Amino acid sequence: MLFIPIFLLLISLGAQFYQYQTTGEIIERSITLKGGTVVTIQTDSPLDLEPIFLEQFPENELVVRDLLDRGRTVGYTFESDAPQDEFVALIVEQYSVSQEDLSVQSIQPSLSERFFLQILTALLAAFVFMSIIVYITYRSLVPAGIIILAVITDIVIAVGLFDLTSQRLGVGGLAAFLMIIGYSVDTNILLTNKMLKLGEIPLYDRFTQAARTGLMMSGTTVIALSLGLFFTNSEIIFQIMLVLLFGLLADIINTWITNAGLLRWYLEKKGEKK
Amino acid sequence: MKWRVWLLLVLVIISLVVIQFQPWRDGVIIQEVVQNTPAQVAGMSADTDRFPTLRERIVEVNGEPIKTVRDFYRANLSGDSIIITQQQRFLLWPFSQEQVYYLENDGDDAGIRVSFAPTSNIRFGLDIQGGSRLVLEPVRILDAEEFSTLRDSIERRLNVYGLSDITVRQVTDSFLGDVSQFIVIEIAGQSPDEVEQLVTQQGRFEAKILNQTIFTGSDITVITSSQQGGITQCSQANGEFVCRYNFPIQLSLQAARAQADATRELDVVGDSLSAPIQLFLDDVLVDELSISADLQGRVTQSISISGSGVGPGRVSAQENALSRMREIQTLLRSGDLPARLEVVRKDTISPLLGQEFIANAFLVALVAAIAVSTFVYIRYRTFKVVIPMLLTAFAEVILLLFLASITPFVNIDLAAIGSIIIMLGTGVDHQIIITDELLSKNRGHLSWRGRLKKALNLIFTSYATTVFAMIAILIFGGGIGILNAFAITTIVGLSIGVFIARPAYAVIIESLLKKHYK
């Protein structure tokens, strides 16, 4: 059964490798994490800005995303490293946008680089702290190690799946990776607790008990996130939910196949030693 | 154990009373009234110290009812206008040309900045409420006292300019030994460009004769009556209009003497002296004035400062001149900054987008709640589990919103939305754990209490891992507040859940499901 998670892992590692080859980074960052200007407008104009943009700013890049509200286009976000004032003026002119339908965010590359590094460090630190707690709970290297391995894999797979989409990582998405740590460790702890501490009933029954609860937990969250993705009209919330969904899907596989499998192997070995 | 349920109930009731949900409320509130505008002259002001739901709302402009911010933007305030709020009636008259000169006004700006009327007392962050944010970095690292002075000076400068609904924060961010300092300015209205212009100038003013500094900004007191000072003349040259402005100031005695000494040395050439007095702002020459001969050697403390503005037409030249004058007056009144600032981040968020965001968030929550409830019902086949689950999850969020209403440390911005997502997700997960543990058929030998204890153990471990992860963020994350806000709000939210809501849930379903257990 272990071939499923391994397969998934290989796909996502492959996606990340490809991403790295093409852009020099494992994950593609949006302007909020790289520096530049993001303009959000509400409009139903179908005008394509790209050709006009390239005429005025031949050296700069532009990323356009549609804002959807239940499937209908209600606006756009434009990201660019073009000079802010001219860029905003161009958009306002082309789409006849009024002040109240416009939001602009701009950030210097030095600041956003710093910010990005900080969040990455926080992610790493959070992970380490979490691992410490896990170890203290089980006081045994192998079960704790398996959990930590599973959580790492969750994040790696989520990154890979993200790379397969056309999304660019913003602050929200990065924070969502942090949230994955918290969410995914819950199911692993549930599994490990049940498997280790219910000595009196057969291994398989312990597993099914844990799985009933655990899959229920993940199931409700998957449903909520999927609906949220469809109904939300906010870029940032969409990305947060998408990252969480990827992490959760990875978690379902990693907890109930990988973690369970490894734990079973460990317990059987321990049982033999007795 | 029952007391926990009562506690939760009481807290929720208190929260609802304080939050004052009023989603039916429409209209706009006055966020800011700019100085020297028709609105200010008419007596309007922004009541920023009131609870959000008690603030003064504009309900009608020139006979048209105002329900949304968009309605207000569409209203025509350039002629005589009547603005009605729920308490008062204001008559606005646009400024005459003369008044535009004297009161340094921008022509057709009535001077009112609005935002949508709050439908509750919940404090929202800028990303939702709308407004602007400027993040600035000083060009060099300042010591604690200088940094504090910088912050105060900026706030004073903005207040003098006429902006009241602003917050100025100093942020020191250390990341692995590398320290950065930032000033974060949040403005309720949407005019970051004016503010940017104002705070990126250090404001060092110097007057020199023959390259010798005679006096600086600290020697000057600006006369505050705005009836004096304004446009003196306009002329046209090379297709452009140039308008000159002029305003009186008082010099300190010491400076006046220095000026007298310097002019004594000069020769008289016709009506003036041989050298002009040159005015520099941040080392850039802004004006050069010839000194009239009768001022030679005289100690005089009353002098005037002048300058000019240009434009393609007379009106734009006047406007430019006036805004330049107002800028210099502000800089002189508030003093110069310890260091120059550079803009590293500038955000402008429309309040309309935020309003729609909230409406949408409610929709998403509702849809998710229905779906999750259905799923839970299918699994447990009884409403006695579904309803308490929904209610306690709902209660947790209410408590968090309560905190967001009473303390400025918790406010609902995008970070908080993330925290709420975590709270709800973890909350439902934990409740499922409790439910399964209590209803499980394989634990016949354990009492209800025993089972609950096992469930709570598991929950507490999960809680600990997430909280520790958040603590890691607080220690290592730094960041310009947003990560910290997220971490703190999540810790607070999860604590409310684990210590109050979870036990309450357990008690509720215990009483509802005791027969199942038997």
DSSP B175-198: ETTEEEEEEEEEESSS-HHHHHHH
Dihedral through CA B272, CA B275, CA B281, CA B284, nearest 10? 130
Strand order in the sheet with B205-209: B212-216, B205-209, B277-281, B284-289
Non-local CB neighbours of B120 within 8 Å, separated by 6+ positions: B19, B20, B21, B22, B23, B52, B53, B401, B405
C-alpha–C-alpha distance, residues B508 and A151, integer Å: 34
- From the list A110, A223, A244, the residue facing B371 with the nearest CB is A223
- Cβ neighbourhood burial of A117 (10 Å; 0-12, 13-18, 19+): middle
CB contact under 8 A, B421 and A127: no
C-alpha–C-alpha distance, residues A65 and B127, integer Å: 19
B356-398 pLDDT, tens per residue?
A: 788 888 888 889 999 999 999 998 888 888 888 888 888 988 9
Residues of chain B neighbouring A132 (CB-CB closer than 8 A): 468
pLDDT for res A246: 93
Instruction: Check whether B244 has a pLDDT greater than 50.
Output: yes
B79-110 pLDDT, tens per residue?
A: 788 888 888 888 888 776 666 555 544 555 67
Residues of chain B neighbouring A84 (CB-CB closer than 8 A): 346
- Alpha helices (H) in A61-108, listed in sequence order: 84-95
C-alpha–C-alpha distance, residues B163 and B421, integer Å: 36
Ramachandran class of B277: left when φ > 0, alpha when ψ lies in -120 to 50, beta otherwise: beta
The full length of chain A comes to 274
Cα B363 to Cα A165, B24, B366, B439: the distances in Å are 26, 16, 5, 33
CB contact under 8 A, A212 and B436: yes
Residues of chain A neighbouring B462 (CB-CB closer than 8 A): 182, 185-186, 189
Residues of chain B neighbouring A221 (CB-CB closer than 8 A): 425, 428-429
ipTM for the predicted complex comes to: 0.82
DSSP B438-496: HH-TT-TTS-HHHHHHHHHHHHHHHHHHHHHHHHHHHHHT--SSHHHHHHHHHHHHHHH
The DSSP H or E segment spanning B420 is helix B414-439
pLDDT for res A274: 47
The DSSP H or E segment spanning B302 is strand B302-311
pLDDT for res B104: 47
Minimal CA separation from A48 to chain B, in Å: 22
Give exposure, B7-40, as e/b (b: 16+ Cβ within 10 Å): ebeebbeebeebbbeeeeebbbbbbbbbbbbbbb
B350 touches chain A (CB under 8 A): yes
Non-local CB neighbours of B427 within 8 Å, separated by 6+ positions: B392, B393, B396, B497, B501, B502
B346 touches chain A (CB under 8 A): yes
For B481, nearest residue in chain A (alpha carbons): A115
Q: Could you tell me if B304 and B247 are in contact, meaning their C-beta atoms sit under 8 angstroms apart? A: yes
B128-170 pLDDT, tens per residue?
A: 777 888 888 898 888 888 888 888 888 888 877 767 678 888 8
What average pLDDT does range B64-73 have in this prediction?
Answer: 82
C-alpha–C-alpha distance, residues A152 and B124, integer Å: 35
Residue B434's SS3 state is helix
pTM of the predicted structure, to 2 decimals: 0.78
Non-local CB neighbours of B9 within 8 Å, separated by 6+ positions: none
pLDDT in 10s for each residue of chain A, 274 residues: 677 888 888 888 888 888 777 777 778 887 777 888 888 888 888 888 888 888 888 888 888 877 777 667 788 888 888 888 888 888 888 888 876 678 888 888 877 888 788 888 888 888 888 888 888 888 888 888 888 888 988 998 999 888 888 788 887 888 888 888 888 888 998 888 888 876 667 777 788 888 888 999 999 999 999 998 888 877 788 899 999 999 999 999 888 888 888 888 888 887 765 4
pLDDT for res A221: 92
Residue B65's SS3 state is strand
pLDDT for res B284: 82
DSSP B330-365: HHHHH---SS-EEEEEEEEE-HHHHHHHHHHHHHHH
- From the list B371, B477, B486, the residue facing A118 with the nearest CB is B477
B349 touches chain A (CB under 8 A): yes
CB contact under 8 A, A171 and B482: yes
pLDDT for res A249: 92
| Best CA proximity match to B57, nearest among B25, B79, B33 | B25
Tell me which of B70, B350, B442, B467 to substitute to probe the interface with A (most A C-beta atoms closer than 10 Å).
B350
